Chain A
């Protein structure tokens, strides 16, 4: 099984967030369609880290500069686990503003290969 590696998107015009399947799975949730409750998602971080997440997102929207972090996400009943996220601002071909980024569990890099065969 491949490691989970998700994508997320924040539509600047609507203020709404969308996750790919793996982002839900990393959060320990069943994948769902539609928008994401951003407040609830940020609340799942360690209280010290939640403030950092919201500030980084805010500044990425405001100043259009990329970010990356490795922070603590609640992990069911087992405390916290480290997750890694990147984000950057972009304009779509239609001229709309959005943030897009990646999301994964943080793991030490180990040289390896995998195939679907």
Chain B
């Protein structure tokens, strides 16, 4: 999964300024605790990656026997999709020294590409050097992570900066484990907002989300088009949205809209 946006999001202001300190780390961890979607976590990890002097992060779960590609085990990452695609096309995961190290030890793995790649076992050392070199990935660190359900994984930071020292490894490991646990435990948060909407307001949002014009919604519900527009305006006020599209998108994200109709 790859995504990128220049947008901000509500509730993430705590992570807006990354401070290289214990207090700053706790702010990041607190922000992670408020994340409701993988995308919220993505933004925090991206800021952490950049402010730590790395270029990329990737959060993976450790592979099961049935997992054949990096795409299969990737939870969130800002690796370019072209890199992931090339990695999987080359079939690199089967002899990944990183995965092997994470499966064998829970200690942080500080690596540089030429050393760790020197004995892959699949004869693809040069392809790997060329591929990652193209993206400016020459070194990094991977942290073994686990959640309360026993799911094991890893969070990696990579780029071309100096090796992290002991204190930085401890700090990043603390954040990595919080990020992993939050990512694997995310469930849909049912919005309390649905309780403040009337039945008619919910119905109008539902049918608009299902692609009906206000005229069609009016016919379906047996009310006037003006009344439909009034209900949508009232919903927007309650949900603090700026227009119908925003109302519909927020309602979908918060699970307020039901129905699995045809597109």
Contact = CB atoms under 8 A, between A and B. Distances in A.
Nearest to A11: B245
19 contacts: A12-B243, A12-B244, A13-B245, A14-B208, A15-B244, A39-B260, A41-B263, A52-B37, A55-B40, A56-B39, A57-B249, A59-B9, A69-B3, A70-B2, A70-B3, A70-B81, A82-B71, A99-B245, A108-B82
Interface of A: 10-17, 24, 27, 29, 34-44, 48-49, 51-52, 54-63, 65-72, 82, 84, 97, 99, 106-109
Nearest to B253: A54
Interface of A is mostly: mixed
How many chain B residues sit at the interface, stated as a range, is 35 or more
A48 B1 contact: yes
B213 interface: yes
A97 B261 CA distance: 27
B7 A54 contact: no
Contacts, number: 152
Interface in B66-115: 71, 81-82, 85-86, 89
A15 B245 contact: yes
B263 A44 contact: yes
Interface of B: 1-9, 37-40, 71, 81-82, 85-86, 89, 188, 206, 208-214, 232, 241-250, 252-253, 257, 259-263
Nearest to A68: B4
A9 B29 CA distance: 37
